[in-house]
Chains A and B, each alone.
Chain A
Amino acid sequence: MKFKLSRQARIDLTGYAFILPNIIGVCLFTLFPMIFSLITSFTDWDYTKGLGNWNFIGLSNFIDMWTDEWFTSSLTNTMMFAVGVVPITIFLALVLSVLIDKYCVAKLPIRLALFIPYISNIVAVAIVWVMMYSPWGPFTQLVKVLGVEDPPQWLGSTTWALPALMLMTVWSGVGYANLIYTAAIQGLPQDVYEAADIDGAGEITKFFKLTIHFLSPTTFFLVITTFITSFQIFAPIQIMTRGGPGTATNVLVYYIYTSAFTFYRMGYASAMSWILFIILFAITIIQWYGQKKWVNY
Chain B
Amino acid sequence: MKTKRSLSRDRLKRIALKTIFTTIISVLAITMITPFIWMLSASMKLPLDVMKLPIEWIPKYFYPDNYMKVWNIGGKSARNYHFGLAYWNSIKIAVINLCGSVLTSTLAGYAFAKIKFRGRDILFLLYLATMMIPSQVTLIPKFVMFNSMGITGTHLTLILPGLITITGTFLMRQYFMQIPDELRESARVDGANEFLIWSRIMVPIAKPNMASLAMVVFLWNWNSYLEPLVFLSDWRLYTIPIALTNFIEESVTEYNLIMAAASSALIPAFLVFLLGQKFLVRGLVAGAVKG
Contacts and interface: CB of A to CB of B under 8 A. Distances in A.
B140 A40 contact: yes
Contacts of B291: 221
B259 A179 contact: no
A83 interface: no
A124 B136 contact: no
A119 B107 contact: no
B179 to A, nearest CB: 15
Contacts of A124: 241, 244, 262, 265-266
B9 to A, nearest CB: 15
Interface string B252-283: 00010011001001100110011001001100
Contacts of B51: 136
Given A180-B288, A218-B288, A232 B134 contact: yes
A19 B115 CA distance: 11
B117 A15 contact: yes
Nearest to B112: A19
B163 A25 contact: yes
A103 B18 contact: yes
A19 B111 contact: yes
Interface stretch (A26-34, A57-65, A150-158, A206-214): A26-34
Interface in A107-123: 109-110, 112-117, 119-123
A179 B42 contact: no
A235 interface: yes
B269 A121 contact: yes
A12 B118 contact: yes
Contacts of A113: 29-30, 32-33
Interface in B127-185: 127, 130, 132-145, 147-148, 160-161, 163-164, 166, 169
B285 A180 contact: yes
Given A15-B115, A127-B248, A239-B245, A269 B140 contact: yes
A121 B17 contact: no
A29 B111 contact: no
Interface in B224-246: 225-226, 229-230, 240-241, 244-245
A138 B22 contact: no
Contacts of B266: 120-121, 124
Given A51-B148, A124-B244, A116 B32 contact: yes
Contacts, number: 265
A221 B284 CA distance: 13
Contacts of A40: 140-141
A25 B104 contact: yes
A280 interface: yes
A15 B161 contact: no
Interface string A31-65: 11110110010000001000100000000000000
Interface string B25-50: 11011101111101100100000001
A22 B288 contact: no
A16 interface: yes
B215 to A, nearest CB: 10
A121 B285 contact: no
B5 interface: no
Interface string A141-170: 100000000000000000000000000000
B85 interface: no
Interface stretch (A67-75, A270-278, A289-297): A270-278
A132 interface: yes
Contact of B144 (A116, A175, A266): A266
21 contacts: A8-B118, A14-B115, A22-B164, A26-B164, A32-B145, A34-B138, A51-B148, A105-B18, A110-B25, A113-B29, A113-B30, A131-B39, A132-B38, A238-B245, A253-B136, A270-B137, A273-B139, A273-B140, A274-B137, A276-B134, A277-B137
Given A123-B244, A222-B288, A253-B226, 10 more contacts: A22-B107, A22-B169, A30-B166, A31-B130, A33-B141, A34-B133, A116-B36, A127-B244, A175-B32, A238-B245
